[in-house]
Amino acid sequence: MVMDYLDGECLAQVISREGFLDVERSLEIFLSVAEALEHAHWKGVIHRDLKPSNFIPTKTENGSDFAKIVDFGIAKILPTGDQLTQQLTQTGETFGSPFYMSPEQCKGDQLDFRSDIYSFGCVMFETLTGKPPFSGQNPVKTILKHLTKTPPELTNFVLRCIES
C-alpha cells in the first residue's frame, strides 16, 4: 500500500484550536472533500466514519486550503449487480462516531452514499460553529438525538461568524 505523507494536524485539531473556521476557508475545505467523496462514491466506496479527525487540511501551491480524507478502515464497497439483491437485508452493522452518524447508521440499517453525505453535513456544521449538531450526555443519547431531533439551523451560527 502506498499513501501520501501528510504533515500537519487534522481538522478536529484546527477546530479545537481556533473554535470554528470562517466561511471562506471552510468552503475551500468542503469543496475538496466533496470532490473526494464524489470520487469514492463513484467507485462504489462508502467511508462510514467521516469526522473532523479524518480530514487533513493542507495548502495547495497557490496557498488555498485543501483537505484529504483519511482512514478508510471501516469503508465498505457497495455490491453491484446480483450481489446487490443478495445483500439488501444485511443489517446490524453499526460503525462510526456518534456525533456524525446518519440516522440509518445509528439504527444499524443498510447504508448507501447518503449516509456519508449526512455525516459530511455534520462535519460541516461543526467546522462552521465549533460544535457538532447533536451532542448528548453519552453516545447512546447522541444517537437518539440523530434519530428524533430536528437539526439546529446553521443560519444563526454563520451570521455570528460573519459579524465577528
Q: Tell me which residues are annotated as active site.
A: 49
SS3 of 95, please? Answer: coil
Taking the C-alpha atoms of residue 122 and residue 51, their distance in angstroms, rounded to an integer, is: 8
- What cell does 87 get? 445483500
Query: With 0-12 CB in 10 A as exposed, 13-18 as middle and 19+ as buried, what is 31?
Result: middle
DSSP 54: G
Q: List, in sequence order, every beta strand (DSSP E) within the chain.
A: 45-46, 55-59, 65-69, 76-77
